[in-house]
Structure 1
Amino acid sequence: MMLTNADLVELTAFRHALHRRPEVSGEERETAATIVEALSALRPDHVITGLGGHGVAAVFAAPAPGPTVMFRAELDALPITELSGAAYASELPGRGHLCGHDGHMTILMALARLLSRRPPAKGRVVLMFQPAEEDGSGAAAVLADPRFADVAPDWAFAIHNMPGVAIGEALLAEGPANCASMGLAMTFTGRTSHASQPEAGVSPAPALAELIPALSALGQGGALGPDFRLVTITHARLGEPAFGIAPGEAHLWATLRTLGDEGMADLLASATALAGDAAARHGLSLSISHHDVFHACTNDPEATAILARALDACGIAHRPDDLPMRGSEDFGRFGAQAKAAMVFLGSGRDHPRLHNPDYDFPDDLIPIGARIFERIARDLLD
């Protein structure tokens, strides 16, 4: 079944409306309400709202038993000012759909139209509009919600658009697709003193000076193999912006990145030990918190094969080049519950990159993504 020209006009307008009103992780209330309103005309068998926060799950069920197949999109935008110049650019200062989640949602809405006209012959399709992907908390919250058990999938699929890859082409490979990552926030507390008498205080400056290169040395990147480790210092602050005060507190943030979850546990232990040792040697107290925790995203072989067949049937060339990616994706958490796979769909070789202020999702991908997802649903449920 194909989307009509009228569908494409309406879906494009829907995407532009989402684009104008971006909401960041955990704040997607208006976006979720827009999704629910649009779904109401398509008569899914069941809609769950407030899932794991502002998540929405729409279920299209067949009378005959069969597997549950989930297709996932993300609700959230980024805390970045948009500079695309589009007529439908963000109306909210400092907020922008600069990763294409508005387009991913629209692909699911296009799939909902197709399913409303021709429901699955068996089993269920679940359209998962997931909150808070960008900070890594959304998938975990959805999985922890007791109502998720009602829609727990046997199969899970996702599309992410990918600048640098031509439209009509895709990246797909079984095995590792995205790295695990974690934000490590460290606070070192000593004692301030007058800048003329630094010896009367306990400054965290020496510890900070040691730790920045030491943490970086724990993971210097390189080839994306099993031993890949990368530590990126993302923020540092020492004392107050005053010339008369020797510092008594310092903050250091680092992002840890590994190919797999086991490697992350080892890297976290090493980084924590380094920070603890530096604090102890310099007479400082230390507090550590973890943020933006992403599990590794691994494509299941069977799910990847299903995706590959769908791409072939849709005439979309695909290759395993440039995979896995250093970036992280919390879709990986669904892989613990279902046979899951993600494909990276080209959004143009020269298209602005994800998270760039001039990025905008290409509307041409809406029918392509919907066609891929519908083919998967038909292959598994017809």
Structure 2
Amino acid sequence: MLTNLDLLELTTFRRELHQFPEISGEEVETARRITEALKALSPTRILTGLGGHGVAALFDSGEEGPTVLFRAELDALPIAEQNDIAWASTIKGKSHVCGHDGHMTMLLALGRMIARTPVARGRVVLMFQPAEEDGSGAKAVVADPAYTDIQADWAFAIHIEPGRPFGYVSTCAGLINCASLGLKIKLNGKTAHAADPEDGISPAQAVAQLIPALDALGNGGALDDDFRLVTITHVNVGEPTFGIAPGEAAIYATLRTAGDNGMENLEAEARGLALSASAQFGLGVEFDVCDSFAASINDADAYAVAVAAMDGIGVMHSDAGVPMRASEDFGVFGWGAKAAMLCLGPGEDYAALHNPDYDFPDDLIPVGSAIFERIARDLLGTATAVPTP
């Protein structure tokens, strides 16, 4: 269990993380702070540099059993914080308005409890993953050769989700977070004087044709197996001037589907539309993929383990509000493990994630870590021998 001193120290640490946010791929100091905090717990092993700046702590019982991984995220967002709190971000234009500072702290709280009272069998892995916000981090971690040393049999994560009562968890078996992909379409033509547009090759008509055509590929609707959504997020044609007929254009579209196979099909169709339009209007076309997230699918067995753990400690839960259109790269850990994501409520009227006035509620630290600990005990038991101080 956590003591009052634990909660005071963990809260102080969480607020320190909040003051020094680092965005995806830049989590050098955050990883250092986490590594130093983990050293105090004397885990069996600490791995650093996983998939970039990832850090993992391994607690090995020395007895045969499964490996159970619990994941948190290191990165913050490129959003300027607007909060009147003593621990507000000190880094201009960057902030932990995503809750990741709290997720990391819940994992450290779990580490304290496992260090004091080890599991009876198997291994616990505390995974602090880089670059969740752009979808690249989990893939980089599992592709890292060092990950094979801590390959999980079970994987669990908690993400704070406003709109739910405090301490209430939303989760379900099956789809929990949609797959998504950012597709940038660049159309290349030829500029001309605005008085003689026929001397150039303008992408304007192709853009006008593509916007509704892309929209029509996916209109949202029910989150069933056929769910598809295309959202145009940015369009640029030429330069903001009156004397030049445009020669270039760019369209940014976010694609969402209920599964990874559906994403492959949707992306192929979107590319096909762009290729057809570019050919029709004599344009070159280039594609770039950004922020690619695999679908997160809750394994039925992992979901059942999480539900039993929450029931065991009296945490209320249901499938309200899930699955979600929003994406999360935790699903990658489910490619090689039985995985489940839990959505933990901070209060129904709490500030929304990615809002400039968001701050993680510290009172959730013991709630999330208690769920994690019960999952670990249910799967791995508790050692009866008292550890050597």
* TM category, shorter: over 0.9
Q: Does 1:156 align with 2:155?
A: yes
Identity rate of aligned residues, in percent? 61
1:72 match: secondary structure: strand
- 1:25-45 per-residue CA deviation (whole Å, 9 max, x = no partner) reads 000000000000111111011
Query: What SS does the aligned partner of 1:66 have?
Result: coil
TM-score, normalising length: structure 1: 0.99
- State the match for 1:126 in structure 2: 125
Cα shift readout 1:78-110 (whole Å, capped 9, x = no counterpart)? 000111222101001110101100000000000
User: 1:278 — aligned with what?
Assistant: 277
Stretches of structure 2 that go unaligned for 5 or more consecutive residues are: 382-389
Q: Distance in 1 between matches of 2:162 and 2:320?
A: 14
1:374 and 1:364 mapped to 2: Cα distance? 17
- TM-score, normalised relative to structure 2: 0.97
Q: Which amino acid aligns with 1:361?
A: F
| Map of 1:297 onto structure 2 | 296
Name the amino acid aligned to 1:37: E
Query: Is it true that 1:143 corresponds to 2:158 in the alignment?
Result: no
Partner of 1:215: 214
- CA–CA separation in structure 1 for the residues paired with 2:10 and 2:110: 11
Deviations 1:143-165 (A, max 9, x none): 11000000000000000011000
Partner residue in 2 for 1:79? 78
Q: Deviations over 1:60-92 (max 9, x none)?
A: 010211100000000000000111222101001
SS in 1 for 2:306: helix
Matching residue's letter, 2:283: L
1:100 aligns with 2:102: no
Whole-angstrom distance in 2 between the partners of 1:355 and 1:162: 11
**Offset at 1:217?**
1.1
Name 2:387's counterpart in structure 1. none
1:1-382 matches, within 5 Å, as 2-382=1-381
1:168 CA displacement: 2.0
SS in 1 for 2:66: strand
Secondary structure of residue in 1 paired with 2:362: coil
SS in 1 for 2:169: strand
Q: Deviations over 1:212-234 (max 9, x none)?
A: 11101111111111111110001
Q: Tell me the CA shift for residue 167 of structure 1.
A: 0.8
- Matched letter for residue 128 of structure 1: M
Q: Could you tell me how far apart the structure 2 residues matched to 1:4 and 1:142 are? A: 33
Cα distance in 2 for residues equivalent to 1:135 and 1:368: 27
Gaps of 5+ in 1: none
CA distance in 1, matches of 2:340, 2:155: 7
What letter corresponds to residue 341 of structure 1 in structure 2?
Answer: A
**For the aligned residues, what is the CA RMSD?**
0.6
